[in-house]
Structure 1
Amino acid sequence: MVKVKICGTTNLPDALHAAEAGADALGFIFAPVSKRRVTAQVAREVGLSVGPSVARVGVFMGQPLDEVLRTAEAARCSAVQLHGPLPGVYVEAVAAYYPVLRVLGPEDLRTGNVQAVPGVTLMLDAPQPGSGQPLDWSALVPHFPPGGWLAGGLGPENVARAVATLRPGGVDAVSKLEASPGIKNPQAVKAFVDAVKHA
């Protein structure tokens, strides 16, 4: 069964609706550049209110290692998602404490710039995460890692096709599920989860 992560969660009503719709994980963005950024306190309160059956993924982009670990602990994250060019020792250090989703771009896969690390699952995303731009899934079939996750321009209208093409272990969506940045469209969230579960 393909896992579903609803990323860019900023408030409790959206989190509760995503959980009720059947999401397996919520993403809380801590990257300073994001318009969906939340504090560790907000992520902790929202995540714990949803209950233990839904994973709480902290999303980071190039922050110092100690900040990532400190924030993930304060937010009570159950996993960490890492964006940006990062040395292997950094990724391994995070993976010593949390399951890691390591985000790569299409070029990383094509060039074989992928290092297997225990406790780390690879996630393919668009070059500009959160842009809503889908990838050319068919071109990536030869390079897509078994069990890898898929993000980048996914929404209710195209996720079933993406799942059928790449057979990912999980999918992740943000922008196509929003009424405005950081605020989810409940109908789109439910339609997205339903499309994945029936793909």
Structure 2
Amino acid sequence: MKVKICGITNEETAQFAVKTGADAIGFVFAESKRKVSLPNAKRIISTLPEEIKKVGVFVNPSRETIEETVLTTGIDTVQLHGNETPEFCDSLPYSIIKAFSIESKEDLEKIHDYTCEYVLLDGPKGKYYGGNGIAFDWELLSSFDFKDKKVILAGGLTIDNVHEAMIQKNVHMLDVSSGVETNGEKDLSKITKFISAVKGVKSIS
């Protein structure tokens, strides 16, 4: 199973996450306590291996904002975390992750309105559209037909529930942010434990 470490704001943490086994690194460009500037994101991304997915997180952005961010920073995947329409997503010439806040099966049904390959299932909305550290009822996943969608599970993930998350049906990737933080800052020890649990290794090489 793959792992995305989201809300990265500095090169040290990005490099550490990659070395520990992260498959994707997320940069938040929407309003958030983890928001990163374009120059900072560009600098961090320039140091990352080509095979690592570089994801930019947006909430209800304009097309121009996305284009400028992609061009400036070098992100290769756009994660849309707001009320973006299927038509808007289809109009973008990038790899798209469409995020959904899940509270009921009806919320899951909405994913089939979108043609994007990746869908991110997050907990209920709080102060921000995402990154609130709240899990939804994962039992909803067991009987749902995702068809050809690759599911990224987010919201409330920690080292304490990562094994439960890993056994959920249809999950392609786990996306963690606040669950690997201490006092609002990324904690390298927690990143190590989380990724090691997913990858089945005891320590980084």
State whether structure 2 residue 49 is matched by structure 1 residue 51: yes
Q: CA deviation at 1:141?
A: 1.9
Q: How does 1:145-156 map to 2 (within 5 A)?
A: 145=146, 147-156=150-159
Distance 1:36 1:121, change over 3 A: same
Q: CA deviation at 1:119?
A: 4.2
* Aligned equivalent of 2:119: 122
* Aligned equivalent of 1:164: 167
TM-score normalised by structure 2 residue count: 0.87
Q: Which amino acid aligns with 1:47?
A: I
* Aligned equivalent of 1:12: 11
Name the SS for the 1:165 alignment partner.
coil
Q: How does 1:27-38 map to 2 (within 5 A)?
A: 27-31=26-30, 33-38=31-36
**Structure 1 runs of 4+ with >2 Å offset:** 107-111, 114-120, 143-147
Q: CA deviation at 1:118?
A: 4.3
TM-score normalised by structure 1 residue count: 0.90
State whether structure 2 residue 97 is matched by structure 1 residue 101: yes
**Aligned-residue CA RMSD (Å):** 1.9
Distance 1:61 1:163, change over 3 A: same
Identity %: 30
Q: Which amino acid aligns with 1:149?
A: I
Aligned residues: 194
Distance 1:110 1:21, change over 3 A: same
Q: CA deviation at 1:109?
A: 4.8
Distance 1:57 1:163 in 2: 21
Structure 1 gaps, min length 5: none
Q: Which amino acid aligns with 2:38?
A: A
